[in-house]
Amino acid sequence: MTERLDLTRYLRPGDRVVWGQACAEPQTLTELLVAQRHRLGGVTCFVGIPAAHVLRPEHTDALAVESYCGTGGNQALGPAIVPAAYGALPGLLAGGALAADAAFVQVSAPDGQGRHSLGLADDYVSATLDTARVVIAEINDQVPFTAGARTLTAADWTACVMSSRPPAELPAADPPAVARAVAGRVAGLVEDGATVQFGIGGLPDACLDALAGHRDLGIHSGLVTDAAMRLIQAGVVTGARKTVDRGVAIAGFLSGTAALFRFAHRNPAVQLRGTGYTHDPAVLAAQHRLAAINAALEVDLSGQVNAEVAGGRYVGSVGGASEFLRGAARSPGGVPVIALPSTAGRASRIVARLSGPVSTPRSDAGVIVTEYGAADLRGAPVNVRYERMLAIAHPDHRAALAAELEEQLMNGTRG
């Protein structure tokens, strides 16, 4: 157990290495990988949301990079993007087309029975621990011991290193006024007692802040953030009316600051689970009034969503939006929400034609929310959708959008 672990003893040329994303990145191990990269004969790194930014563009001289997202510093790495639904990642990485040969995992210090918590993420990396040829653990005594479905012991890894360092943090930026305006409208769609799912970023955080006046909310989401923690601490989130996992906030990983890590430490009210559970269609559909709140880059007038490409650059991901939106649509009393400001700079984010791929089809769109209102597209014919979407576009863009739509209809290019 040494921080000078020689990775050439465990990794082979051509191996794919997977590790926990965001705050769960085992930084000592990824630093070793970077330092030893020229001796490894060429390996591929599958990365998620960046937080520590250990992997930098200059390291791609000897390391190939793949990712499901173009978030943050990933853009500079120029990763090979895998446009996969988030729920598909465990199967792809654990024996599928993107099978992990090696898994790096950051774990907590052991409890009295020698069990290590997965700490800051169960998520998709958990599945690779059962199938990878090599599992290397970083035992970090500053990682919280979190509750969940799984713990590890020394028998579960091939090698390990010891560390004592603060985990990477992902603090939230203060949402702009327009995000808070959108969030206020979203909050009006969420009933007391609902189970809430939310994405990552300023707008989802603003939506959580806007729920401060609600009662007995539950959480079942891909992640838990500082904003979610504040709702739990305030007694807004109790999980008392959840159908599944009553009284417990369920997430795949923690994304936030040291305050969140301290809050989650040995706290049975927050539990981490694998992606196969957090994104399970049956579990989602069974939740009481599941309110799925997801963001987008742009939405067209029929409800098609682009959450991946902006200005020709891959900056987002397919993510789990469609899975959560479908789950909310099937949940008794649920509401599937896509929230976004009506503009980005001078450009409209409600568009006649998407500038990028269809991340979420219009059949799953649900309710689209901007600062100008909510367009409920559930069961709405296409022509009605056009009217409702135009009504929530920025007023300065409505006439041009209507004209572009009319031209498409006349030319037969819009259905």
| 253, part of any domain | yes
- Same domain assignment for residues 187 and 129: no
- Same domain assignment for residues 242 and 156: no
- Same domain assignment for residues 156 and 215: no
| 120, part of any domain | yes
Tell me whether strands 305-306 and 298-300 are parallel, antiparallel or unpaired.
Answer: antiparallel
Ranges of residues in the chain with a pLDDT under 50 are 1-2
- Same domain assignment for residues 206 and 351: yes
Q: Which one, of 156, 159, 133, 144, lies nearest residue 107 by Cα?
A: 144
Collapsed DSSP state (helix, strand, coil) of residue 274:
strand
- Same domain assignment for residues 157 and 208: no
- Same domain assignment for residues 199 and 114: no
- Same domain assignment for residues 229 and 281: yes
- Same domain assignment for residues 57 and 125: yes
Instruction: List the domain range (segments joined by +) for residue 24.
Output: 7-163
| 169, part of any domain | no
Q: DSSP string covering 148-206, please?
A: ES-EE-GGG-SEEEEE--PPP--PPPPPPHHHHHHHHHHHTTPPTT-EEEE-SSHHHHH
Among residues 141, 163, 185, the one where a domain terminates is 163
- Same domain assignment for residues 89 and 149: yes
Tell me how long the chain is: 415
Q: How far is the C-alpha of 256 from the C-alpha of 263, rounded, in Å?
A: 11
- 138-163 pLDDT, tens digit per residue, is 999 999 999 999 999 999 999 999 99
- pLDDT value of residue 1: 40
Among residues 140, 163, 186, the one where a domain terminates is 163
Q: Which one, of 283, 297, 276, lies nearest residue 360 by Cα?
A: 297
- Structure tokens given for 360: 């979420």
Q: How many domains does the chain have?
A: 2
| 324, part of any domain | yes
Q: Which helix (H) or strand (E) holds 224?
A: strand 223-225
- Same domain assignment for residues 278 and 380: yes
Collapsed DSSP state (helix, strand, coil) of residue 72:
coil
Q: How far is the C-alpha of 192 from the C-alpha of 190, rounded, in Å?
A: 7
CATH code at position 347? 3.40.1080.20
β partners of residue 367 = 337, 376
- pLDDT value of residue 3: 57
- Same domain assignment for residues 209 and 239: yes
Among residues 139, 163, 187, the one where a domain terminates is 163
- Same domain assignment for residues 278 and 337: yes
| 148, part of any domain | yes
Q: How far is the C-alpha of 375 from the C-alpha of 392, rounded, in Å?
A: 7
The pTM score is 0.96
| 393, part of any domain | yes
| 172, part of any domain | no
